[in-house]
């Protein structure tokens, strides 16, 4: 009887942190052409930067007070985002720590272990910035405590065909224990896959990473992972210098070893989950976050009406003609203009873009300051529900299902653009289909 209140007391006192792995400019190449103009983690879906959705979930964990963004973008990249987020989530201390080079998903954690361990948190979440999901962090925490776990991974079921593109988890369905983990296996082992969201016990994960480093150093190749404190004093012999870029990855180097312990568990989510890898994948992510906001009756969304098919987000500074028909799953960015009689569905219209009267935009992303002419049609193709791919086969050729106009593109009046990716500053004066316009 006495144990229950004591455990509850302990829980509320147990500190938890969160790390969001944001990567750097050399990653996110599949997000081009959009990542040419904005770092992928700051690209807006459902009216907010991708990593805002991570912070929003993290902010709901009661014992969590600190979030560390780890990446290798320039220091200045996240400054404004952190300033804005600090106002929105005043209980969170948010900081960005920059890796001197890409250290990999585990290398970055290890490099900044002193910062993570500061204040002696017992556990910390790790979120890949490039996933879109409902982030059931409280469910993960519950499982972690119930099982006295070393690690909990978030998993989801995908089709057998898609599974080998991801990290696959073999688990005991009764105990939820992870028995095996294999990153992108060559043949089918399980359709329960890694969502890129973890909860680690601090006392276990760093020794696991250290063991992985040791295993490497006993092999001929040498890798150095100085801590953030002794970085400047670390010494690397000239012959080792060329090896310093070697990365350490959670997925390939750590998780399969964790499965050997019997304290690694999986929480299987039945809620939505998608990766945000290609630029086109921002469209399903936008739809899923808008639907979540709609279910939560968010006041940020535009109220439904004859011409607004929910969910729709219109930035307060955008101008939308009342005769334009929008939705479902549409986000209209700051200062964008949508003219009379226009139709926009399943699309993202970015800052300062203009959709002229009677134009039609379907399954597309209209880049910053781009123009879509009157009676023009910019369209992609819907992908099957539940698909984890943003490409489709058309006339025997693999093309992007989502049409993307980069920054400052112009589509002429009455021009039709179908399943195209258009690099920034291009002018389209004639109909185009299934092309990358460079
Ligand atoms: P695949 O999924 O294997 O195609 O690789 P990917 O590079 O697209 O993603 P990966 O699974 O390697 O990365 C998962 C998350 O970690 C993403 O949000 C990346 O931005 C981030 N990430 C990847 N490498 C690094 C790194 O070296 N340092 C940091 N801080 N983050 C990284």
C-beta 111 within 6 A of ligand 1:
no
Q: Compute, in degrees rounded to 10, the torsion defined by CA atoms 207, 213, 96, 34.
A: -130
44 in contact with ligand 1, CB cutoff 6 A: no
Domain assignment present for residue 216? The answer is: yes
Tokens of 87: 């106002």
Residues in contact with 400: Cβ distance below 8 Å, sequence separation at least 6, in sequence order: 278, 279, 280, 380, 390, 391, 392, 419, 420, 421
Report in angstroms the alpha-carbon separations of 324 from 319, 340, 404: 11, 5, 21
Q: Are both 245 and 319 inside the same structural domain? A: no
The total of structural domains in the chain comes to: 2
**How close is the Cα of 259 to the center of ligand 1, in Å?**
21
Parent domain of 375: 299-437
Cβ neighbours of residue 313 closer than 8 Å, sequence gap 6 or more: 46, 47, 290, 293, 300, 301, 302, 330, 331, 332
Q: Is the CB of 129 under 6 A from ligand 1?
A: yes
CA-CA distance, 259 to 177, in Å (whole number)?
8
d(CA 372, CA 349): 11
Shared domain check, 254 and 191 = yes
User: How far does residue 73's CA lie from ligand 1's centre (Å)?
Assistant: 13
pLDDT of residue 231: 41
**Ligand 1, atom 19: closest residue by C-alpha:** 23
Among the residue ranges 24-38, 213-227, 271-285, the one predicted with the least confidence is: 213-227
242-271 pLDDT, tens per residue? 334 468 999 988 999 998 888 999 999 999
If you measure from the C-alpha of residue 84 to the centroid of ligand 1, how many angstroms do you get, rounded to a whole number? Answer: 25
Which of 19, 20, 23, 73 has the most ligand 1 atoms within 8 A of CB, as the residue to mutate?
Answer: 23
CATH code at 406? 2.160.10.10
If you measure from the C-alpha of residue 342 to the centroid of ligand 1, how many angstroms do you get, rounded to a whole number?
38
Instruction: Judge contact between 302 and 314, C-beta under 8 A.
Output: yes
The confidence band for 236, taking pLDDT boundaries of 50, 70 and 90, is very low
List the CATH number of the domain containing 112: 3.90.550.10
Q: How large is the average pLDDT for residues 279-292?
A: 95
d(CA 22, ligand 1 centre) in Å? 8
Task: Copy the structure tokens of residue 331.
Answer: 């986000």
Residues 308, 244: one domain? Answer: no
29 burial class (0-12, 13-18, 19+ CB within 10 angstroms)?
exposed
Q: What is the pLDDT of residues 365-402, one digit of tens each?
A: 999 999 999 999 999 988 777 788 877 777 777 777 89
CA separation for the pair 123, 144 (Å, rounded): 10
For ligand 1, say whether the CB of 137 is within 6 Å of any of its atoms. Answer: no
Output the average pLDDT for the chain.
Answer: 89
pLDDT digit string (tens) for 90-113? 999 999 999 999 999 999 999 999
């Amino acid at each position: 009887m006495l144990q229950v209140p004591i455990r509850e007391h302990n829980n509320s006192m147990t500190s938890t942190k969160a790390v969001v792995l944001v990567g750097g400019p050399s990653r996110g190449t599949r997000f081009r052409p959009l990542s040419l103009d904005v770092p992928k983690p700051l690209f807006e879906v459902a009216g907010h930067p991708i990593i805002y959705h991570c912070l929003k979930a993290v902010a709901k964990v009661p014992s969590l007070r600190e979030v560390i963004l780890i990446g290798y973008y320039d220091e200045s990249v996240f400054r404004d985002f952190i300033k804005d987020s600090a106002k929105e989530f005043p209980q969170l201390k948010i900081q960005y720590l920059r890796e001197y080079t890409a250290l990999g998903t585990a290398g970055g954690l290890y490099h900044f272990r002193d910062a993570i361990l500061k204040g002696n948190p017992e556990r910390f979440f790790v979120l890949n910035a490039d996933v879109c999901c409902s982030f059931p962090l409280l469910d993960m925490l519950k499982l972690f405590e119930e099982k006295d776990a070393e690690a909990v991974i978030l998993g989801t079921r995908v089709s057998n065909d898609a599974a080998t593109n991801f990290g696959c988890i073999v688990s005991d369905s009764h105990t939820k224990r992870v028995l095996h983990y294999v990153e992108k296996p060559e043949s089918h082992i399980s359709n329960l896959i890694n969502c890129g969201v973890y909860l680690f016990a601090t006392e276990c994960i760093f020794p696991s990473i250290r063991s992985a480093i040791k295993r490497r150093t006993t092999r001929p190749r040498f890798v150095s992972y100085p801590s953030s404190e002794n970085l400047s004093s670390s010494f690397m012999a000239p012959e080792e210098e060329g090896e310093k870029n070697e990365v350490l990855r959670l997925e390939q180097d750590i998780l399969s070893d964790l499965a050997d312990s019997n304290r690694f568990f999986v929480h299987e989510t039945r809620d939505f989950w998608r990766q945000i890898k290609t630029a086109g994948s921002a469209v399903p992510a936008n739809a899923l976050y808008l639907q979540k906001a709609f279910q939560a009756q968010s006041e940020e969304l535009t109220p439904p009406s004859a011409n607004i098919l929910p969910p729709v987000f219109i930035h307060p500074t955008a101008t939308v003609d009342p005769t334009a028909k929008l939705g479902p799953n549409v986000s209209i960015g700051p200062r964008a203009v949508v003219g009379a009689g226009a139709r926009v569905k399943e699309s993202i219209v970015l800052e300062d873009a203009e959709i002229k009267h009677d134009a039609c935009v379907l399954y597309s992303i209209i880049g910053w300051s781009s123009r879509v002419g009157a009676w023009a049609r910019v369209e992609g193709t819907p992908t099957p529900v539940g698909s984890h791919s943003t490409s489709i086969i058309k006339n025997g050729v693999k093309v992007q299902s989502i049409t993307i106009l980069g920054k400052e593109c112009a589509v002429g009046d009455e021009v039709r653009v179908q399943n195209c990716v258009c690099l920034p500053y291009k002018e389209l004066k004639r109909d185009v289909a299934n092309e990358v316009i460079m």
